[in-house]
Structure formats: C-alpha cells, structure tokens
Amino acid sequence: MSRTRQNRLLTHLVRVDEWVTGAQLADVLGVTPRTVRTYVAALNARAVEAIVVESGPQGYRAGPAAPTALRSGVEPGTPQDRLYQLLRRLLESTDPLDVHDTADEIFVSSATIEADLARVRGFLSGSGVTLERQGSRIWLHGTEIALRRVLSRLAHDQADMESLDFAALMRVLGEGAVGAAKYSSFKTDLVDALGRLGYFVNEYAIADVLMHVGIAAERSSRGRPLATADQQVRRDEQAIGRVLDQLALRHFGIRFGTGDRQFLTTVVLTRVVAPRMAGAQELARERVSPAVERAVKETCAAAAEEFLVGLSGEDFTWRLILHVQNLVERAQESAWSRNPLTRTLKSSYPMIFEVAVYIANGLQERLGIPLVDEEIAYIAMHVGATLQRNRTDDALPTATIVCPGYHDLHSLLRSSVDRSLGKAIEVVRVDTRVDPDWESLTTDLILTTIPPPEHSDRIVAIPLFLSDADVERVHLAAMRVRRTRRLARLRAELERYFAPRSFVRDLDAEVGEESVIRRLGALLVAEGVIDDDYVERTIERERMSSTAFTESLAVPHALGMTATRTAIAVGMSERSIPWGEARVHVVAMVAFSESDRAAFQTVFEQLVEVFSERDSVQRLVHNGVDFAAFLDELVAVIDG
C-alpha cells in the first residue's frame, strides 16, 4: 500500500478543507474509488482514539487528527522504514556493521537486509557517499560534509521541516540528540539575536537552519566535526558566528568547532537573513558579485518590458540582488531553500509566478544556476511585494445612496459609507427622494434605506446606521461587481483567442506532458500561429516549472510572446492527466503574440481563476463534447 499516496490524499483534504467525493479523490490520485477507501482506512489506523479522515454521504474530509497523522513518520516494518533504519545505523556507527547481526537486531532475515542494501545504494546515488563492503561487513565512505548531506536528506524525507516538526527531527537524529524543547528555545533566541544584528529573518526557511544546527550538534557530540575551511572570515560572519557559539553553549552545553561554526554561519547568511539596518546592508553589499548585480538588473529590465509591469526601485532591486547572491552560493552546494508557500503562490497568483519564472530563466542563462520551484517562489515573493506596492487597481465600483431626507441623516450615512467602504466603492450620488427614479440610477451599486421596487444584485438594502455586518454585505457586493467585470473581459478575450480547429476532446492521459504539448502545439502550427521552435520552447518552460496552476488545469506556454497572433488550443480528458506533481483534466496551450502583450495578464490569470473551481471544471469536461459545446459551457460558467 502506498503511504506516499495516502499522504497525498490527506494533504489534499487538509488543503481544500471541505467534503470531497471518493470519485474526485480517486481522480486526484489516479486510483480507483475502492483504493481510496483502503487508503482512508489505513490513515484512520494511524490514530488510536481520534479521526484522521471523516466519512459521510458527501464523501470525505480531514478530521481533527489529520495534521498529527501527516507527521506520524514512516510506517514501521516497511522497506522504507528499514532503509531509514539502516542509513541511521550506518551514519551513527564508528565501526563497520555486520549484515547478519543487523538483521537479527531489526528482526528480519539476512536476505531481506541484502535487498535493503540495494535501496541504500539507490538513496546514496549522487550524494558523494558510497556503501562499502568486505564480506559481511558494511560501512559508508565519504567526507563528513557529504555524510551530513545524506543525513539532511534523511531528515527532509522523514520530518515536516516546513512546520518546525522538532519531534520528527529528533527521531531522525537518534536517541542521543538534544531534546525538542531546547531546539525551540534556541530558535527563539536566534531570531531575536539576528534581529538585534540588523537582519530580517525568513521564518519560512528557518526550519532548515535548525535542522543543520541539530545535525552539527549531533555529529560534533560523536566526535565528527567539520574540517576547518581555509578562508578569510568577514565581519558579518564573525558576528553571526559569535551568536551561534553563545546559543549552542547556552542551550546545548556544547561548543561548535571552527568548521561547524563557519558552515552554520554560511547557512544563516544565505538562507534566512536579509539586511534591515544600514550596517547590515553595508556588509551584505560587500559580498555581492558584480556579475550577480548586472544579471539581476538586466533580467528585471527585460521582465518589466516583456510583461508591462514596474520592477524598478532601489529597495526592490537591492533586496533581489542580495537574495540572488545568496541563491548563487546555495546553488553551488545544491542547497535549496524550502518554501511552503510555493503551491499557494502558483495557484493564487499565476501572473506573479510567471514573471518570477521569466526572471529565473534569465538568471539561469546569465549566471548558469539551475532553479527549482521553491526558489522561484521566493523570487515571486519579491516580485509580488513590489507589484503590490505599485498596484493601480481597476476603477472602484460606483454607488448611489438612496436615503430620504430627514435633517442631515443622509450626510451622516454618506460619511459612514465613505469611512467604512471608501477603498471598496466610490459613492457618486446621494438621492434624498422617497420616490427616486430607479431607472435613472445607473451606478454599479445602489445602497438604499427604503424598499426597492424589485430585487437585483446591484441593490443592497442598508439601515440608516451601518453595522459591521452591513459593511460586510456591501463589501461582498462590490467584490461581485469587480469579479463580474473581470470575467466579462475574459469572456470577450477568450471568444477571440480560442481556435475552433485546435480543440481535442480525448487526450491520452498516459502519454506525459511533452506528448500532450506536442499534440496541441501541432494544431497551432497547422493554424500558422506558431512554429516548431515555439513548441520546443514551451517544453523547455514546462521543465523549469510545472504549469499546472490549479488541480484541474495546466497552461503550457513559451516564455517569449512570438506567436503571429494570440491563440489557445484546448485539450481535455475524462481521466486525470499526470502533470508535474499534480493531475489535471484540461490543458490550455496558450500562444501569445507581442501585439497582445497587454491582454496577457487578463487571459492568463483569469483563465486560471475560472478553472480553480472543481465543479466548473467537471461541468466543462462532461458537457464540452465538442468545441461549440465547450465554449457554451465556458461562457455559462463565466456568467455564473
């Protein structure tokens, strides 16, 4: 039984936080509903007196014990559990292990251990560590830093490092490791000390630092410190090194050797801190390579031109430059920073993530550093922050207040609306008649204190004196207006861009992303929209970062807007298609032309918004039997 798929099922339920049918879960996982029931039973067996997954007429949803079950470690007695046991024993032992003795100690046969050793070799592949053997004796051979890299991977595989799962980390490090409570207080004091040194602290990545601190403490206590690197120590490294020394002595009662202190200082500087105060900023800028500064400035300028967005300003530029300098240093060790917001950023802000992918591609070309999705997500956070500051919203929905005159109550109501809703609506008229000409009120919203002649989504009944609940109702109405505007624009754009002869109803769910892209791309090539090079660049873009922006939709496309005209080829499958780490039902391959630059954001981001609702996707997949029916259903979904 696949524990990985069990965890995927549970992670999905935790994320959606609502009832999901067995058929839908089967589709997400690529299994049968019967297998889903088996997985649910296995998940509930992880908790003795609590419910991991609730079952009911509406399907399944995460129960109160779901978070605990996700952190419950590897199932005892499984091949994966034995693999981790063997690795921990090999990493902890100062002498070779005997295969037969080890088999007896973990209550399996020698033949079973022999099979597990093949898995150990697979796990070690590419790590710089090898499994050596002489007769029945086995041991690991590699440098201390390479051995720690294996231990780091072991910790990431077994512990939820993104949520600071100290207990799980302790299980990985072994019985002799420092207690979880001490790591928690160490973390608190470390964040405070870094703040006093003038740094912002990246709490999303600090779990990685704590993991390396734990590994250093555990290995040092076993007499396995890191060798001292022959390098000049900078002022910022000295300051952070002193902090690490003081905290290790205070919380763990140990002193790190020079090699461990240098390594941990580098981890802190390149993964979790950004300069906040002038002194720290000055020290950080001394580290920046001219090549990195030039690459970031050139790439951001190109991205701003490509996407028609503002990516300038000293604050944004230097923060990103410092981040990329750290990224270059991490890339040299393939030591990527984990980002728990990657999935959220991609699905909720696809346009921002796309700009980040473009920047990542430019940095990769200029600096020769490969970038994984989680590192791209950090770039997206920088991009999103500056775009949010420079954001110019669409025009606010206009509103008329209908409030029959009595003293100055209409003025008081207008002031109350402006004060509570001034950032959500623009009041352009106040009608004080008891019998207003309703047909002449053409604003987006009408806020009325008297009964209207008919009900409408535009009309919101409000009292003379607004409560918080009244403000919330008006705010929701304003949001509906803005969403309707956006989707109306999208409907107009999509009707222009969908290619009738580029519609596929029966995509093969088993052929893989590249084959699907080539099939849809061939249709656009036949239309004269793109050439074969565009298709290849679309595949390259897909390899950089999956374009499965929702759990139902992938939007493959090339980074350059080189199509002769903007067009969209659509493929659908009743069975879900494996796409990156997701599974999708709809693939919309988009080819953008340079002349439609301004439409890119509307089409791209709002197309993802429409397909973010699973019920809408199911409706499209089941009813869109041909292009005309698909477009009719899509328009119906957009119109609500």
Indicate the angle between helix axes 180-196 and 166-173, nearest 10 degrees.
110
The matching CATH number, chosen from 3.40.630.10, 1.10.10.10, 1.20.1250.20, 3.30.1360.120, for 3-70 is: 1.10.10.10
What is the signed CA dihedral for 27, 33, 38, 39, rounded to 10 degrees?
20
pLDDT at 538: 94
- CA dist 378 and 339 (Å) reads 7
Q: Are strands 273-275 and 199-201 parallel, antiparallel or unpaired?
A: antiparallel
pLDDT at 598: 72
In SS3 terms, 392-420 reads as CCCCCCEEEEECCCCCCHHHHHHHHHHHH
CB-CB neighbours of 460 under 10 Å: 19
Which of 478, 465, 463, 467 lies closest to 422 in space, CA to CA?
478
CATH code of the region 489-639: 3.40.930.10
- Looking at domain 79-142, which CATH architecture does it have? Orthogonal Bundle (1.10)
Q: Are 150 and 129 in contact (CB under 8 A)?
A: yes
Domains 3-70 and 79-142 share a fold: yes
Residues of the chain short of pLDDT 70, as ranges, are 1-4, 71-77, 158-181, 230, 277-280, 334, 389-394, 639-640
- Looking at domain 288-389, which CATH architecture does it have? Orthogonal Bundle (1.10)
The 10s digit of each residue's pLDDT in 444-498 is: 999 999 999 888 889 999 999 999 999 999 999 998 888 788 777 777 777 778 8
The 10s digit of each residue's pLDDT in 60-88 is: 998 888 877 776 655 656 787 788 889 88
State both tokens at 23: 């058929």
Please name the residue that has the structure tokens 């992880």.
46
- CA dist 93 and 85 (Å) reads 12
Residue-wise DSSP of 300-319: HHHHHHHHT-----HHHHHH
Q: How far apart are the first and last CA of the chain?
A: 41
pLDDT at 178: 59
Residue 475: partners with Cβ closer than 8 Å, 6 or more residues away: 421, 424
- CA dist 522 and 165 (Å) reads 48
Which of 361, 280, 368 lies closest to 318 in space, CA to CA?
280
Q: Is 465 left (phi over 0), alpha (psi -120 to 50) or beta?
A: beta
Beta bridge partners of 553: 586
State both tokens at 277: 């105060």
The highest-level CATH class for domain 161-283 is: mainly alpha
| CA distances from residue 413 to 401, 406, 455 in whole angstroms, order as listed | 9, 11, 22
The 10s digit of each residue's pLDDT in 134-185 is: 999 999 999 998 998 888 888 777 654 445 555 666 666 655 555 666 777 8
Domain edges within the chain: 3-70, 79-142, 161-283, 288-389, 398-466, 489-639
